[in-house]
Structure formats: structure tokens, C-alpha cells
Structure 1
């Protein structure tokens, strides 16, 4: 991943970041709502959760392609341990943003179901054969991964706030088209 001397991420990178962030939070809330809904409502909520998961997958793959082909701002003035933590967190984010939707699709496939993406297209079930027990196990891992993702988002937000308000290096504003980034 190339870096550059720019103070901010590109507008396209910012758009990917915020759209995916909002989609992940909405999808987490959908999963939470489905867990507390009645049987009839649960299926409809989970259908939206699965569809949005596939949208997140597509956006994340596009964002990753963008990141590999466009330089990102250097992490100047940041301690080595913070740089390592930031890079590690970003790698884990990408693994989860790609792995969680694929895991959800795989879990559905074990129940013999594809994923309808808001009526626009349907991903067919993966060719794994029906195995509800495997599907349940995958969905349990998927739920655990979703919880880890929420904690990771919290860590990411805390890091941005620390850099912005304690270190005063403009942390959050690197991913926003406004605000001051010292340089």
C-alpha cells in the first residue's frame, strides 16, 4: 500500500469509509433487532441484514482495490506502537468486512438458501450441500465475529478521538473533507 505526503485521505476513500461504517452499524442494529423480534418479523429483518451484508462485501472489495491503487496519507508523528496497532486494526477490519458477509452467505448456503440482495439480484447458495448443524455453527461464529467488529470499531473511534483531541494531530479530520490537519 503506497503512502503519500497528503494530509487527508482522498474523497473517494472518505466516501467508502463513511458509507461502509454507516452500513456496518445499521447491519449490527438489524441483527440486534432480529434477535428480539417475533418469528415472522425476524425472517424479514434477517433478509435485510443479509442483503446489506452483501452490499458491505461489494463496497469493501471496491474500497480495498481503491486502497491498493491510491496512496494513503503517511502516519507521521505517530509512535511506532500506534502505527503497528493502526495497521493491524485496518487489516483485521478488511478481513472482517470481507469474511463476515462471506460467512453469512456460507451459513445460509448450509440451510439451502441463497441471499436476495434487495430484489436487485440473488446470490445462489454456495455448493456446500444442506447441513443445518454446520449452518448453525457458522452463524454462531458470524455472530461472535460481529461482536468483535463492534469492539474494534470502538477501539478505532477511541484512537481517532485520542489523536484529534489529546495529540492534536488532526486524527479524525484525515478522514473528513473539513477540519484542520496540522502539517
Structure 2
């Protein structure tokens, strides 16, 4: 069901958007929490949840991207300036690139350590056919962490943009991705 006349995303797009947001925040907090683990084993158990959530994030983002391609988003409110539309397009593209590339990078890194990825014991991702190379795995994880920091910065930019449009411009941009409220413009 399209609600583009009201300038809103579809209900399914809203669900996927907020599910991805929650999963990313939970995954980030789990990774941060693992840093303070008492033992290497405890850290590994905590990080197993981070890896499993990464698999789920990849799947949900892939569904979101396919949905978006099949159901184009509603046009931005008419009051948005050209640079704002361009920045929004760049941020959204970067979200998709990072949210798909980061789990793949994690899988490659885990594979370079010789490990599979268990998704809470429900199924396992096999080791990719990459050479066992601990140094390479560590470098990939460093890039993964840098990508994560970049993602967090983009989330802040995204949220501030939505709030700026909603509170200062009073165009209801935030409500485009919520089942309540009105979009103006």
C-alpha cells in the first residue's frame, strides 16, 4: 500500500527502517561492550552476538534495498533545497553501501581467521575461501571499525537533518518515516 499522496513511506519501508536502526544500535553497543569483557572467551561470546546481528542486518538491508527499488520513496517535500536533497541522497547511498559492506567485511575477516559465523546456533555461514591470514583479518576489522564510526556519524547527520526539517522548517519530514504525524510541503 502506497501512501505517497501524504508524502510518507510505505508501512513496510517504515518497519524496515526502524528495525535496521535498532539492529545497528544494538550491534554497536554489543561491540563496545565486548571491549570491556573480563576474558578473551567472554569477549568471543559477546562478539558472537555482534556477528549474528551483522548477518541479520545484511539480510534486512538487502530486503530494504529491494523494496526501495520496487517501491520508490515519496518525493521530498518541495521546500527542500537542492543541496539538502543532494546531501540526503549521499547519506542514504552511504548507508546502503556501509550496511552491506560491513557485514561482508566481517565475514571475510572471520574467514581469514579460519572461523565460521554462527547465527545463534540456527545456522552457520561457512568460511569463505580466503587464505588464513591473521594480520589481514585484523586489518579488515580495523576498516570495519572505521566504517562503523563513519556509519554512526552519518546516523547523527541523518537524524539532525530530519529534526531540522521537522522542528525548524516545520515541514514534517520526520513523519515521512512514522505512521503518525503529517508531512507538509
TM-score when scaled to structure 1?
0.96
Q: C-alpha deviations, 1:122-148, integer Å up to 9, x for none?
A: 000110020101000000000111111
Post-superposition offset of 1:71? 2.2
Counterparts in 2 of 1:1-183, with a 5 A limit? 5-38=5-38, 39-75=40-76, 76-183=78-185
Q: Give aligned pairs, total.
A: 180
CA contact (8 A) 1:47 1:116 kept: yes
| Runs of at least 4 residues off by over 4 Å | none
Structure 1: how far apart are the matches of 2:61 and 2:6?
23
Structure 2: how far apart are the matches of 1:112 and 1:25?
28
For structure 2, the 5+ residue unaligned runs are: none
For structure 1, the 5+ residue unaligned runs are: none
Structure 2: how far apart are the matches of 1:114 and 1:134?
16
Structure 1: how far apart are the matches of 2:6 and 2:116?
43
CA contact (8 A) 1:5 1:74 kept: no
Structure 1: how far apart are the matches of 2:85 and 2:59?
27
SS at 1:159 equivalent: helix
TM-score when scaled to structure 2?
0.95
- Which stretch shows the higher mean deviation, 34-43 or 92-101? 34-43
Structure 1: how far apart are the matches of 2:15 and 2:99?
16
Structure 2: how far apart are the matches of 1:40 and 1:107?
18
